[in-house]
Structure 1
Amino acid sequence: MADSSHGYVRDRRGCRHWGPQGAAGLLLRQGPRFLLQRRSWRVHHGRTWSIPGGALKAGESPWDGARREFAEELGSVPALCPVLTFVDDHGGWAYHTVVADVMEPFFRHRGDGEGVAHRWYIPVEIDSLRLHPGFAATWPQLIGELDAAGR
């Protein structure tokens, strides 16, 4: 059976995106810090910082897809408390950034190699990193929404 998460789709603006069902990523928060992953040079937009994530499967919720992708890329998922889901809608295709608080210590295990490093950063440090273009475009709105909600 073919994987429903594979393949490209075009949004209403004509931009091409991976994942016919959309995509989701998991942004872990621990106090004032957020966990980012440096992408391998072998993947699209390699050597940039972003969050673990990827294409959703048919019928998969953003929460489930973000956790699955996180486990694939970092080897495991700690106990989490969901905070919010930020949706970047491109018109016919959307990326869901799921923000969750870490409820227990997180230790990275062997993942699939899409990420070569991971680190905890405070927001001002994130602003100075070379970010994945999609994450860079949504980061100011995402942190603004978290701040506005007092979360």
Structure 2
Amino acid sequence: MSAIERLWTDYNLPTLDALHFPDGRSYEVEMDSAAPSGMKLVEAFDLEEFLEEEPGWVTPVDGQRSVPLTDGGVLWGGEGAHGSNGFCARLNADLTLVWVIFFQVSNPFTEVQVSGDIAVFNSTSGVSITVDINDPLRSVST
């Protein structure tokens, strides 16, 4: 089980701007309002190594908005422990992760709009993140 899967079993996420997959891939991302997706890719990193060095950099998350998908899964937007935290996720029907994106200063994502394979997550502070729900890496500017 990967580090992100272990954290997700208790609905916790690392407290850093990143995109995570249950297969162990993690990527630093940053918000970028000039990018079509609203974010850009910084670099890949090892989440296991990060958590060994910074075990306290974890926050519980709570979903604020859920949108069902035709495959039985859901898109989920919400918040972390601090009012400035926000996350966007795609979950399987059993609520296990397909992918998750966390931002430290986006504010909670409380609106989710889906059109085909594209989802737009909007936060309470006006941050807008657009992702391909099947592969959010396709959405991220480099």
Compare the two structures and name the one with the higher helix fraction.
1
By relative contact order (CA 8 Å, sep 6+), the higher-ranking structure is 1
Higher strand share: 2
**TM-score w.r.t. structure 2 length?**
0.25
Rg (Cα) greater in structure: 1
